[in-house]
Amino acid sequence: MYKLIALDMDGTLLNSDKTISERNKNAIKEARKKGVYVVLASGRPIDGLLNFLEDLDLISDDDYVLSYNGCLVQKSKSRDVISSVSIKGSDLDYLYKLSKEVGVNIHAFSKDRGLITPKNSKYTQYEADQNFITVKEVSHDNLDLNEEIIKIMMIDEPDILDNGIKKLPKELEEKYSIAKSAPFFLEFFNKEANKGLGLELLAKHLGIRKEEIITMGDAMNDYPMISYAGLGIAMGNACDEIKEIANYVTDSNDNDGVAKAIEKFVLND
């Protein structure tokens, strides 16, 4: 019997119009009635998930959320931290200088200051609007090199970002976990942090074996948790790499793929 379902948000639980279908809501509700934990696992900060957590009634003393691609695992109501894996201001300083060299914009999430950037841009504002947070334009010339940074993102028009990525040094793959979570987002976080590790730490906290876990996702930042789980499920709209490692491919995010998988593997068992 499965005891925990971890769901990516964009491209998975959310439709193309960024809402949760009634069928998906009902399937999640019925799974929870059977005692199954349902956990949102997203690259977004918890504030960007709050409306969805409320919509799904996933805010209680016994509900959890994986935010920032697993860098932060916490209770959704009290926000008590289960695990936190971050990087530093020195990493932001390094990546900021690289971003200028390759010609792309950059922003970061500071634990204390929130969403910070040396210059607001289209996709930084998009990030802020999507997550209901504000942008703080701050100089990166005198960063506190010990400041706790949750994640850093290079952001730009897809063609500009892709061109910039080609110019990045290979050593970055040794220093950071890197995930392209959208055509215009390249994310950098602690080498030890990803959705898979965050899920593993939460599972240990709850006393749940990986064989008792279902995960669903569509993009490369979902790869670690899809490969970790006992049942890794790719969305019908997932990238080929995710479909290749998945145990099962469900329908697309616009055709209730999450609900159909929950109905098949949890509600009809």
Pairing of strands 213-217, 185-190: unpaired
Distance CA 43, CA 94 (A): 22
DSSP state of 264: I
Alpha helices in the chain (DSSP H): 22-33, 50-55, 89-102, 122-131, 158-167, 172-175, 195-206, 223-228, 240-245, 257-262
Per-residue burial over 158-182, b = 16 or more CB atoms within 10 Å of its CB, e = otherwise: eebbeebbeebeeeeeeebbbbbbb
Q: What is d(CA 126, CA 136) in angstroms, rounded to the nearest whole number? A: 14
Half-sphere exposure of 221 (CA within 13 A, CB side): 31
Contact in structure between 123 and 156 (CB atoms under 8 Å): yes
269: annotated active-site residue = no
How far is Cα 39 from Cα 22, in angstroms, rounded to an integer?
Answer: 18
Residue with tokens 């020195």: 90
DSSP 245-262: H-SEE---GGGTHHHHHH
Among 8, 63, 91, 156, the one annotated catalytic: 8
Instruction: State how far the alpha carbon of 247 is from the alpha carbons of 9, 78, 168, 173, in Å.
Output: 19, 34, 33, 27
Q: What DSSP state is assigned to residue 44?
A: S
CB 215 within 8 A of CB 227: no
Residues with a known catalytic role? 8
